[in-house]
Amino acid sequence: MTTPSRSAPRTDDEHPRSAVGARPGRALAAAAVPLLLLLSLLAAGLGMLATGAVSPATLVPASPLVTWGLPVVRALHHLGLLIAVGAGGTAVLLLPGPSRREVTVLDPLRRRTVRLAAAGALLWTLAAAAQIPLGGLEATGAGTDLNVWDVAMGGALGRLQMLVAVLAALATLAYALARSTVLACWGLAFAGLGTLSLGLVGHAGASLDHINAVNAMALHLVAVTVWAGGLLVIALLAPRMDDAVLGTVVRRFSPWALAAVVSLALSGLISAWIRLSGWGDLLSTGYGRVVLAKTIGLLVLAVLGALQRRRLGERLRFRHLALTEGVLMAAVIGASIALGRSAPPVPQSVPEIGELRVMALVGFLPPSEEFSPTTMFTVIQPDWIALALAAAMAGAYLIGAVRLARRGDDWPWHRTLAFVAGCLAFAWVLSGGAAAWGKFRFDAHMVQHMAMMMIVPPLWVLGAPVTMLSRATAPRTDGSRGVREWVLAALHSGYSRVISSPPMAGLIFAGSLVIFYFSPLFELAMYDHLGHVLMTVHFLASGYLFAWVLIGIDPSTRPINPVLKLLTLLVTLAFHAFFGVALYSATWLVAQDWYTDLGMYGPERLMLIQERGASIMWAISEVPTVGYAIVVVVLWMGSEDRRARQYDRKAERDGGAELAAYNAYLESLGGEARSDGVAQPGGEAQPGGVAQPGGEVRLDGADRPDGPTQ
């Protein structure tokens, strides 16, 4: 038998630990997935029995295929989703690199993890597609001849499920084709978008106060997927990792798990507040008891996760904890399936009659106070997830500033002030008076929109968040990429170089307004919460891009001429003002069907409100123009001063060597010439040269600093 060389890398089968532990561990990991699926189905069945979801419906008789088949499909759906996100996140963010040099190609363990993510995403895609006809069958009932696919796609729920299936398919394709971490990261991005879209499916999309209900459900699903998916994949891959790799992965996963636990607590509290009439419903109703059981399971999972981090050196103990976590995770997934099939104690829909119609369309009633500049700052319509996001961003930035201060690094206080002010403005935009009236009045919406584009982004940009991230976060030295490395890679990518040119940034900033308001997109964003979220994200991002190109402190892909910045600013915001004038002169109502369905104002009043909104757009664009111009000029002057100080410091260090070398070069030009003319004594010259007083010769290009010399 040949003994392996000491210098040759050992495989898992050659590892001393693997000989006794890896193979049984791999067998257990292979059996874990079907076992979790069976446990999830059992928990879902018990939960449906507890809530009465299996009782026959009286109005629309349910098909047995829907009653029992849909939970099976959803269990497969959730399992595929967990593996797709968990394995993708592990490969892209958690696994250490194979060397100290940064590499993007997939090493063997990372390649295996990405293939696991592709298998999970494929299962997710098939299950998501299977839910569409089952949803149509549930809507039509048993014993009908209607086309269940057409019925499903004719409703908002079916179209959302199709969107989820498409995003899952894109994630599958990206994972399957991935030969580098870059394409694997795209797969993780598609999987994340699909998870967010799932928040609109189920009770949340039709809930009262559906803004908070949908946002809470989306956050809840993302948190569960990150946490449970990460735990599941780490447990599946643990037999293939040595102790050092496993310890690194679990340590890197811990901050994500902590953030997920906090997010679960917040989103669960919001969802329970919307769907339960009081704390008594937790014990007095079947729905409440399932919610309570799910909450206890999540808390126990959090405790077990903390124990795992303390037991990293004991592989047998880690395996036992992972098995226990898997059982609890399956029970929690089953409880989620049961809740998705059950009606909450508080009805989540109202008849669209009179004032209730406004409630059904928007999710809440308009404020009783009159809309005015004063009440925009005194009325609150809280978007709890937006408030939590603003607090999280400000808190993370302040933690970074404190870390730099303790390290002795200087960080300008005005940057911290600007970023925190931007977070406060963001919270007001989505939870203040403008948000309270934003869906009822066009002028209030325009205040909200202009603040999203021209107040929040510049404040964030002046805070230099990327510079803060790069300085406050330790870089990775093992060749892998964390959040810091991915952000910097995106910042210096070819895509970033294209969109960060001033003309392109101005085109995106101004062109979005024309496309959005002079097309059905605005009305779609009013009717559909997903459209409203996409609108918010797009205009925040376009405003941030525009501000970063003009007044950004964070590093850019290439230096930009300040004159070009000023020209882009003047042209873009002049167009912005002219667009406000065009909107003011419009003879038709923007989103007429939406405001007519609300029935709050007549056509003449709606036209006056629209003109007022157009005036706000025109007026607000003037003030930021001056502010942007001042900041551009100040940064321009500051850059020139910094360049001069850098040159002076360099001259002090090298004793003016650069200046001395340049002076010597000029002196050498007085006695040298090109090969086609040589200076002669007495001022004569060979052919091709022109005699100068004192014996010097001036030749074409020889007296220029950039000209050729002998």
- Residue range 483-506, pLDDT digits in tens: 999 999 888 888 888 888 888 988
Q: Tokens 């077990």 correspond to what residue?
A: 304
* pLDDT at site 183: 93
Q: Is the pLDDT of residue 268 over 50?
A: yes
| CB neighbours of residue 585 within 10 Å | 9
Q: Which residue has the higher pLDDT, 377 or 104?
A: 377
CA 85 to chain centre: 14
* pLDDT at site 205: 46
Tokens standing for residue 44? 């879902």
% of the chain beyond a pLDDT of 90:
26
Q: Per residue, what are the HEC states of 455-520?
A: CHHHHHHHCCHHHHHHHHCCCCCCCCCCHHHHHHHHHCCHHHHHHCCHHHHHHHHHHHHHHHHCCC
State pLDDT tens for residues 655-678.
666 667 767 767 777 655 444 444
Tokens standing for residue 468? 């803060």
pLDDT band per the 50, 70, 90 thresholds, residue 7: very low
Q: Closest by alpha carbon to 385, among 584, 223, 165, 162?
A: 223
- What element of type H or E holds 133? helix 108-140
Q: Per residue, what are the HEC states of 181-201?
A: HHHHHHHHHHHHHHHHHHHHC
SS3 of 691, please? Answer: strand
CA 640 – CA 677 distance, rounded (Å): 41
pLDDT band per the 50, 70, 90 thresholds, residue 284: low
State pLDDT tens for residues 434-475.
999 999 999 999 999 989 988 999 999 999 999 999 999 989
CA 425 to chain centre: 19
SS3 content of the chain, % helix, strand, coil (to 5): 75, 0, 25
Q: Is the pLDDT of residue 121 over 90?
A: yes
Q: At what angle are helices 243-275 and 286-310 packed, to 10 degrees?
A: 160
Q: Which residue has the higher pLDDT, 323 or 573?
A: 573
Average pLDDT over residues 269-275: 76
* pLDDT at site 420: 96
* pLDDT at site 341: 57
| CB neighbours of residue 475 within 10 Å | 10
State pLDDT tens for residues 26-57.
555 555 666 666 666 566 566 556 655 555 55
Name beta bridge partners: 105.
180
pLDDT band per the 50, 70, 90 thresholds, residue 682: very low
Q: Which residue has the higher pLDDT, 203 or 578?
A: 578
State pLDDT tens for residues 610-631.
999 988 888 776 677 777 777 7
CA 329 – CA 305 distance, rounded (Å): 12
Q: Which residue has the higher pLDDT, 394 or 236?
A: 394
* pLDDT at site 6: 36
Q: At what angle are helices 210-237 and 16-51 packed, to 10 degrees?
A: 150
SS3 of 180, please? Answer: strand
Looking at 76-90, 111-125, 338-352, 568-582, which range is the least confident one? 338-352
Compute the residue count for the chain: 710
Q: Is the pLDDT of residue 236 over 90?
A: no
CA 50 – CA 46 distance, rounded (Å): 6
Contact 353, 400 (CB under 8 A): no
Average pLDDT over residues 338-358: 58
| CB neighbours of residue 623 within 10 Å | 12
State pLDDT tens for residues 520-534.
999 999 988 888 888
State pLDDT tens for residues 139-184.
776 556 667 777 778 777 788 889 999 999 999 999 999 999 999 9
* pLDDT at site 87: 95
CA 197 – CA 217 distance, rounded (Å): 10
Q: How confident is the prediction for the chain on average, in pLDDT?
A: 77
CA 664 – CA 232 distance, rounded (Å): 70
Fill in the amino acid letter for 39.
Answer: L
Q: Which residue has the higher pLDDT, 366 or 706?
A: 366
Q: Closest by alpha carbon to 457, among 556, 558, 542?
A: 542
* pLDDT at site 281: 63
State pLDDT tens for residues 506-564.
899 888 888 999 889 999 999 888 888 889 999 999 999 999 988 888 887 777 777 88
SS3 of 447, please? Answer: helix
Average pLDDT over residues 15-31: 49
Contact 337, 40 (CB under 8 A): yes
Helix residue ranges per DSSP H, 518-602: 521-527, 529-551, 562-584, 592-598
Q: Is the pLDDT of residue 431 over 50?
A: yes
CA 375 – CA 439 distance, rounded (Å): 16
Contact 153, 162 (CB under 8 A): yes
pLDDT band per the 50, 70, 90 thresholds, residue 419: very high
* pLDDT at site 29: 56
Q: Is the pLDDT of residue 315 over 80?
A: no
- What element of type H or E holds 356? helix 355-362
Q: Closest by alpha carbon to 709, among 659, 678, 672?
A: 672
What is the maximal distance between C-alpha atoms in the chain? 118
State pLDDT tens for residues 580-607.
888 888 888 998 999 988 888 888 999 9
Q: Which residue has the higher pLDDT, 220 or 202?
A: 220
* pLDDT at site 250: 84
Fill in the amino acid letter for 86.
Answer: G
Question: Which DSSP category does 708 fall into?
Answer: -
Q: Which residue has the higher pLDDT, 676 or 633?
A: 633
- What element of type H or E holds 615? helix 603-654
% of the chain beyond a pLDDT of 70:
68
